[in-house]
Structure 1
């Protein structure tokens, strides 16, 4: 039987007719995907800045690090105490069909159980990683085999880049085994919690600007993490669907017209600063997690907000 995540348990308040939500830590032990530019290390800080809202939208879903870190029943973020404005409506979208197929397979109880059995029978292996390449494109909707292949190709690759098998650690172990094998097993252990978390989330596979325009409203909060401007980063082919400068300009023009609240991630750049001159910008200093070596180069991540 399906069990709701721990933080989704309602308890009866001392006030008649009122339900409150227990605040507990999520059960997700590891992010399911290693995603280039993922916000795992910034998620908590981004969430702290979020205003109250009813409708939450991620138009560039990627690895969903922020959504999976969110407590959708946090009373500090809910719009009001009215019964129809408690909790939150959540929508995630990505133009990458292989990615959204993966999320859809995880969120459906029947497909997830098949997916789970297959990945739990799969070791951390370069042979498995190489063989998965030929089957990661969805044929049906949802496609469990494609989701399994996509998961292996992503999770067992170097920095989630899909292009090379993850290098093996030689100087240390984790849980008395190879570090990468341990990380793979830890990820598998957390999948049921990810599946449960996604049950109440709507997953779309549409162009981002179409989703932004359709989902906008006074009670909407957008968190947008698009592929960053090429001029601000070294790897310009990190994603299956990159964005040109013209597409970034169209995105900026679109979100300037939004009625709802918008949070936009990126590296500091003149284009965003010019087009969003009246927005607030918050900077974060982080280590470059994709860099090799023990000493990580520090980078500045920015968050533009229209509130």
Structure 2
């Protein structure tokens, strides 16, 4: 269990994780198909087998470095003695360095010190945070809090971490007792036009391909998104159940977050809680 995110990451789900986890059925194998900051994985109980996948080499390098006992301590030491400074942030926007630990530090600094996009070479230095005590946080203070890195390093032990596309691994890991948790980049039509990730997935065609894949998976599946006609017409007409929760995005705008659960997932949950979906 982590007490705060290890990365400030677009769509990270740290605060939503307890709600999402309340809909997790019992499972033997867990697959985080679009891993990102791993906020759900890092807050869930361990499964017999666990997999984390993300196409972004920077985020997978960070997770591999933090999850490796030979590099985790040194990464945390470097974070500890790296100041919260504009020069550091500008360094984080430069071309990734070759040393895996410094590359992880570079990516971590970009996530915590930057506003806006996390794509390579973009973003604005996060200076003040909240100074009037009405809410929010002080960015430099968060940067100095190292506890979650130790917590995450311990939790990542035993997790397979790979920079691979979910499309390439899904069918190989599909089993009735496998739970696939998917939090892909959201559909552009409901999210907006901004580019937030190195590997975007804004087009309807890309999401149609993903939905077609998960409809045929032999396993339990939960997928996140904003409510959309595409997801409703594709999933709910095939017996999937949508659950929603009101939240706010990183600009404090009200949003409706949704998760869709496939029929096998719903059936497994109803075995334990028959009234859950009434």
Tell me, yes or no, if structure 1 residue 301 matches structure 2 residue 257: yes
Q: 2:108 aligns with which of 141, 151, 161?
A: 151
1:98-177 matches, cutoff 5 A = 98-136=58-96, 139=98, 143-158=100-115, 161=118, 163-169=123-129, 171-172=131-132
Q: Which structure 1 residue ranges, 4+ long, deviate > 6 Å from structure 2?
A: none
Residue 170 of structure 1, CA deviation: 6.3
**Measured at CA, do residues 254 and 261 of structure 1 come closer, stay the same or move farther in structure 2, by a change above 3 Å?**
same
**Measured at CA, do residues 263 and 286 of structure 1 come closer, stay the same or move farther in structure 2, by a change above 3 Å?**
same
1:273-292 matches, cutoff 5 A = 273-276=232-235, 277=237, 278-288=239-249, 290-291=250-251
Q: 2:184 aligns with which of 226, 230, 233?
A: 226
**Gaps in structure 1 of 5+ consecutive residues:** 1-25, 73-86
Q: 1:63 aligns with which of 21, 28, 37?
A: 37
Q: 1:198 aligns with which of 133, 156, 166?
A: 156
1:16-35 matches, cutoff 5 A = 26=1, 28-35=2-9
Counterpart contact for 1:33–1:160, Cα < 8 Å: no
3-state SS of paired residue (1:134): coil
**How far apart in 2 are the matches of 1:231 and 1:189?**
38
- What residue in structure 1 maps to residue 175 of structure 2? 217
Residue 33 of structure 1, CA deviation: 0.4
**How far apart in 1 are the matches of 2:52 and 2:58?**
14
1:7-22 matches, cutoff 5 A = none
1:233-252 matches, cutoff 5 A = 233-243=191-201, 244-252=203-211
Residue 113 of structure 1, CA deviation: 1.6
3-state SS of paired residue (2:109): helix
Counterpart contact for 2:131–2:138, Cα < 8 Å: no
- What residue in structure 2 maps to residue 43 of structure 1? 17
**How far apart in 2 are the matches of 1:148 and 1:30?**
17
Counterpart contact for 1:159–1:166, Cα < 8 Å: no
Residue 128 of structure 1, CA deviation: 0.8
Residue 245 of structure 1, CA deviation: 1.8
3-state SS of paired residue (2:124): coil
Tell me, yes or no, if structure 1 residue 92 matches structure 2 residue 52: yes
**Gaps in structure 2 of 5+ consecutive residues:** 267-278
Counterpart contact for 1:283–1:301, Cα < 8 Å: yes
| Superposition CA RMSD, Å | 1.8
TM-score w.r.t. the length of structure 2 is: 0.87
**How far apart in 2 are the matches of 1:33 and 1:160?**
13
**Measured at CA, do residues 224 and 254 of structure 1 come closer, stay the same or move farther in structure 2, by a change above 3 Å?**
same
Counterpart contact for 1:106–1:112, Cα < 8 Å: yes
Counterpart contact for 1:61–1:92, Cα < 8 Å: yes
Residue 108 of structure 1, CA deviation: 0.4
Greater Rg over alpha carbons, structure: 1
Residue 38 of structure 1, CA deviation: 1.2
**How far apart in 1 are the matches of 2:77 and 2:117?**
22
